[in-house]
Amino acid sequence: MKRSALIFFAAIFLPSLVLGWLALRTAGGQRVLIERQAADLHQAETDAIASTVRAAIEEKQRAFVEIIRTLVARHGASALAENYASRLSVAWPDGGIPFAISPQGMLAWPTTSAARQDRNQQEFLVNNGAFLSNKAEAEIYQTQQPFPAKEELKLRAAEPEAAPQASAAEFSELYANKDQAVLRQKTQSQNRNIIPQKNAPADKAAILSKVAPEFSDFQTAVGASAQGILARFVQDDLQLLYWTRPDPNANWLFGLMLGPAQFDRIAADILPEYSNPDTQLAVLNEKARPVARQPAGFSADWKRPFVATEIGEVLPHWEIALYLTNPGQLTESARLVTITLVLLIALALAAILAGSSFVAMDTRRQLALAQKKTDFVSNVSHELKTPLTSIRMFAELLADNRVKEPEKQNRYLRIIASESERLARLVNNVLDFARLEKNHKTYDLRQTDLHPVIERVWEAESLRLREAGFSADWNADPGPYPARCDTDAIAQVLVNLISNAEKYSPDHKDIELRTHVADQTLQISILDRGIGVPRPLEEKIFEAFFRADDSLASGVQGSGLGLTLARRIARDHHGDLTCHPREGGGSIFTLQIPTTND
Ligand code: ADP
């Protein structure tokens, strides 16, 4: 028993506890996992929007480049430069301030006289004049593309070109000859102006902007490339400069400066494509103010979005920020998942524990049953042997004619008869029990009067009891006791009960039979003054093979089947058999059989 408890503890209980603990830990991590999953999902969304905005701005740039190419092809570069603003405005309706730079690096448009007419151009000259004509350096953000491949260039060279061409020497001096490593210094990385919630405040990568400015003059920045986008902050306002050199040999540079009005519109056009009831989206500018929102008009703690993506060099420090419509929902669903997991784990553990304790209990029961069966075999063989020995002994004495006195002869014959009866009873009990176990026991049910049946049993039994020194009385309600029953079976129950009363009354030899009819039930009670049945065993004694320790110790022989059989018979007759302690010592066994009148 100790060993199996140890095995149970080591092989089932302990591993279950460890598994449960591990599973609970995993459940605890669910919240983090769900948040991370949601963050990854939404991050992919803002990444996609950011690249769409970037693509839209670059698309505009390509359109601008195409317009310039067409205009230069039609008018020639220097002629276009002279009348740049008016020629461009026909083909480019989106606004902005055009600028052109001559092959000598001079700002050819806006001219000072043109700027005098227009406040915006004037302001442009003040802010950008020195930088664009390479007289001052500035902090810039830029993307650029090189000139197309050679074959394409050859094709283009075949096109008519009216503009005066700068020499190759001039070109390289102007744009390609500078030590870029010295001039194009990367300035220090800057802080991002928002901190997405998904990132811990200590997460450096989230706080620092991925968009890095350079400190450079215009010509170095432009280098030998064909076209590009250059962004810079002028008095805290973002300006976007589209520029292109339509031909590497012509070396004219045409540009267009765009302000917030132009790129706000692009952002606002793109956002509605991403409408989702669970999330709110905003395009935040470099001051972390929303320039477009989806849905319109929502507000949030702009600097603490759930996730965000920087748009990049084309709109430096602008962010696509995503806010959860209902932030509690995420916690709630994480809680739900955790609770479900914990419940499942608890259920699984309970099932394991219940299952194993059931197995343990069953094993114990089987062991106890096996023990009882072993006891039964030794009890029964003893019970068979004792009467057989006396029968044989007395029969031999009589057969050898060694007993002369008729009185003795008579006594010996009676002993032989009663011992045979005991044997028969035991064999009957064992056989009947076997039949009951296999459900093979059949009853011969008939409508009878039980009074004469009881009378017959009592006559024989009381005679034997009195001879054994018992006082035996029958206290009877007047008959008849009509019942539908198998009279042999009922008689067997009575004999078993009387025999028990006799067996378990070693000192006070007093047995009483009471028969009483009430509520359509015949109650047959056998009362004794014997050793009694301890209270907790009053039900157990009806179990097969069970024998109380007291009766074992007192050396009384028995099979542990008599009462089991008697109760089965009683219940098969829709009645019952119960045991109660008797006042003043001893026990009362009561057999109840329903009376019937047909
Ligand atoms: P057994 O062959 O052991 O008598 P039973 O099924 O008839 O088997 O009885 C089961 C147990 O009930 C007995 O072993 C005994 O401990 C207890 N018992 C039965 N009848 C009495 C009684 N009249 N007084 C005290 N104990 C009894």
| Mean pLDDT to the nearest integer, 233-256 | 85
Question: pLDDT (tens digit, 9 = 90+) per residue, 507-531?
Answer: 899 999 999 999 999 999 999 999 9
| Mean pLDDT to the nearest integer, 542-566 | 77
| Mean pLDDT to the nearest integer, 77-97 | 87
Q: 10 Å Cβ neighbour count for 422?
A: 18
Measure Cα distances from 15 to 27, 28, 114, 341, 357 in Å.
18, 20, 87, 18, 15
Residue 74 has pLDDT above 50, yes or no: yes
Q: Domain 442-594: give its CATH superfamily.
A: Histidine kinase-like ATPase, C-terminal domain (3.30.565.10)
Distance 473 CA to ligand 1 centre (A): 21
- The whole-angstrom separation of Cα 37 and Cα 578 is 68
Going by pLDDT thresholds of 50, 70 and 90, the confidence category of residue 334 is: confident
Q: Which amino acid belongs to residue 198?
A: K
The pTM of this model reads 0.53
Distance 360 CA to ligand 1 centre (A): 29
The pLDDT score that the predictor gives to residue 250 is: 66
Distance 382 CA to ligand 1 centre (A): 16
The pLDDT score that the predictor gives to residue 530 is: 93
Residue 553 has pLDDT above 60, yes or no: no
Going by pLDDT thresholds of 50, 70 and 90, the confidence category of residue 134 is: confident
Question: pLDDT (tens digit, 9 = 90+) per residue, 265-277?
Answer: 777 888 877 788 8
Which residue among 504, 549, 568 is best mutated to probe the pocket of ligand 1, counting the most ligand atoms within 8 A of its Cβ? 504
What residues does each domain of the chain span? 2-19+328-363, 28-255, 442-594
Cα 482 vs. chain centroid, distance in angstroms? 65
Residues with CB under 6 Å of ligand 1 are 500-501, 504, 528, 530-533, 541, 546-548, 551, 558-564, 587
Which ligand 1 atom is the nearest neighbour of the CA of 559? 2
- The whole-angstrom separation of Cα 5 and Cα 473 is 53
Beta strands 446-449 and 482-485: pairing type?
Answer: antiparallel
Which residue among 425, 493, 500, 525 is best mutated to probe the pocket of ligand 1, counting the most ligand atoms within 8 A of its Cβ? 500
- The whole-angstrom separation of Cα 384 and Cα 377 is 10
Beta strands 253-258 and 97-101: pairing type?
Answer: antiparallel
Going by pLDDT thresholds of 50, 70 and 90, the confidence category of residue 500 is: very high
